[in-house]
Amino acid sequence: MRACIPLVLAVLCSLAWADLYSAPTSCQGRCYEAFDKHHQCHCNARCQEFGNCCKDFESLCSDHEGFSHSSDAITKEEIQSISEKIYRADTNKAQKEDIILNSQNCISPSETRDQRDRCPKPLFTYVNEKLFSKPTYAAFINLLNNYQRATGHGEHFSAQELAEQDAFLREIMKTAVMKELYSFLHHQNRYGSEQEFINDLKNMWFGLYSRGNEEGDSSGFEHVFSGEVKKGKVTGFHNWIRFYLEEKEGLVDYYSHIYDGPWDSYPDVLAMQFNWDGYYKEVGSAFIGSSPEFEFALYSLCFIARPGKVCQLSLGGYPLAVRTYTWDKSTYGNGKKHIATAYIVSSA
């Protein structure tokens, strides 16, 4: 399969003509210019695909990945501003009385490989399951049993499962959270219509890609929200609802945590260790108490604005970093890499 390239932003450079050609082996002033066979190296949108980029392409041009319809990159300040708006718009989140956590033992990062169960009690003491009857929660939960968790086995969706993907997208697009995100991206000239945005989200999250030799054995949604097992270890699995439901069934055993966020209400952030039906997760960071649309919106924002990079957010006045990863072997078309994973990497 032909390798895909990142979705990129065409940059209009302001250097004078003489300056442009004074350093033809550099991308200075040449980011995403049209291909010219006379140049020694290239800075166009497909140079990474053909392996003929100038050496400084990544350092000079990569900060503008994520956009194709605009000449304006999303700034760090804009990302922090829209993430705060999304945070305030999450009216479907859990209230304080909806969840009682028992986080128990906090360990040091050096102890995460020990695979020792230092917490005899479950993480969740109580969850108000009335939350799960809300339309976005219900649609989200319907998706969780649509996957084989072991990588290397191709995923094949039934008509019902495909309909459940559409139902989830339809429900979250009714929320203030996703309306805030779409409005922001539309204003940034990334999407011309809401339907274009929805179509892209479906490909981005539910389009299949390969993590091994088997074609189509994974997707962004499966990895991030449902969780997978690869080479005897848990990968992904960054969702509190999934964790609670599996823990309730006796399939997840909470071991410890290394970080508990500064938020005094939900959503909060917890970085934890756990065993999932015989497979260990060394560090699994997750929002706690957030709505499905909240997580979906923030991870989508970060993938669109900072694909394959650390994305600096702000939530309730506190900084938070989310890292996304891209993947080549995908069904996500039009020259884009696929979302492979998104997870919380730091907070301060």
What is the side-by-side strand order in the sheet with 310-315?
A: 310-315, 318-327, 338-347
Name beta bridge partners: 100: 126
Length of the chain counted residue by residue: 348
DSSP code, position 120: -
Q: Does the annotation count 69 as an active-site position?
A: no
Q: Does the annotation count 281 as an active-site position?
A: yes
DSSP code, position 226: I
Task: Give the active site residue among 42, 281, 329, 336.
Answer: 281
DSSP code, position 101: E
| 74 CA to centre of own chain | 17
Q: Does the annotation count 223 as an active-site position?
A: yes
| 160 CA to centre of own chain | 25
| 138 CA to centre of own chain | 21
Residue 228's closest CA among 172, 277, 185, 298?
277
Task: Give the active site residue among 93, 230, 238, 337.
Answer: 238
Name the E strands within 184-251.
228-230, 233-235
Where residue 72 falls (left for φ over 0; alpha for ψ -120 to 50; beta otherwise) is beta
65 close to 8: Cβ distance less than 8 angstroms: yes
**Tokens representing 265?**
């209400």
Cα 226 to Cα 55: distance, rounded to the nearest angstrom: 39
Which residues are marked as active site?
223, 238, 281
